[in-house]
Structure 1
């Protein structure tokens, strides 16, 4: 049986689920003298997340890491389902799907490292940034040409919205 192209899954995506470190960030942290860990997020990823949220897509963040700054940033983009400090991503995903009546085949999960492996196997479109670990690349139906924290999230959201003819449908052409 021939494997479907990842593009065949895009039309049916209603839900975007992302890990944080290594996906929404480049996976590095700056540690201050007080022990605070600072992360950098890509503004273009943020634009895509806000656009998808504004269009009514389900957006969920499931991360083992816990940082209040990350929660504040993502909340400001209109993301309501932010689960940080999650010890069991599979259980959290299952609860999220049940709570919102989401079918796994309509969900995309972008992860980058081994803690994402089992949860990625439970969605219709597992995907990852270009710099993900080999085990994650091997189970991904789509590997972005962008690295984590450097536009991988924008890449996959933009592709889904373009296929569904929802990307920048309200964009004002005077900004070209």
Structure 2
């Protein structure tokens, strides 16, 4: 893995469960599904959006809590309940005119496999399943929901000269 590959990235595609969230779901008596997200990932996502990275979240999950969390961070492209992640991702890449080498997908499990094979830089958290680790060009030292997204976004922004202290970006 060459760090210079991170410098080319303009579009970042992320899974939720096992990447943005830690992969556990707490179900309330009312049936609401609660996920745990990292504040550090949140800060990096807000900064990346502000600095012009195209951030897209594609998940099979349908919880409105996911949508509220990500919209609160400034993510405009949040796609819930997606069964065919690859077709959606390829459509977004085409419609926004990104070259494959400008795209990154971070996934952790088998539903992410095809998307990871279709981008320039497939990456994963260190607790991803073995099949995903095998095709990843970079395995973060961080676990899903525990800063792996921050790790990747920080590399991209630093290599592009866009990682500066910004007190206007708040973690929420």
Query: Shared fold by TM > 0.5?
Result: yes
Match of 1:131 in 2: 127
| Higher CA-based Rg | 1
**Aligned partner of residue 13 in structure 2, secondary structure:** strand
- In 2, the alpha carbon distance for the partners of 1:165 and 1:90 equals 30
One of 118, 126, 137 as aligned partner of 1:122: 118
Q: CA RMSD in A?
A: 1.2
CA shift, 1:13, in A, is: 0.5
1:111 aligns with 2:107: yes
CA shift, 1:170, in A, is: 4.5
Contact persistence 2:15–2:58 (CA under 8 A): yes
Q: TM-score, normalised by structure 2?
A: 0.94
* Number of equivalences: 168
Contact persistence 1:6–1:125 (CA under 8 A): no
Contact persistence 2:4–2:159 (CA under 8 A): no
Match of 1:52 in 2: 48
Q: TM-score, normalised by structure 1?
A: 0.92
Task: List gaps (5 residues or longer) in structure 2.
Answer: none
Match of 1:85 in 2: 81
Match of 2:64 in 1: 68
**Aligned partner of residue 118 in structure 2, secondary structure:** coil
Q: Deviations over 1:84-114 (max 9, x none)?
A: 1101011011111122112221011100000
Task: List gaps (5 residues or longer) in structure 1.
Answer: none
**Aligned partner of residue 127 in structure 1, secondary structure:** strand
Q: Deviations over 1:35-73 (max 9, x none)?
A: 111001000000000000000110000111111011011
One of 30, 39, 43 as aligned partner of 1:34: 30
- In 2, the alpha carbon distance for the partners of 1:6 and 1:171 equals 31
One of 142, 151, 165 as aligned partner of 1:155: 151
- In 1, the alpha carbon distance for the partners of 2:155 and 2:97 equals 24
CA shift, 1:8, in A, is: 2.3
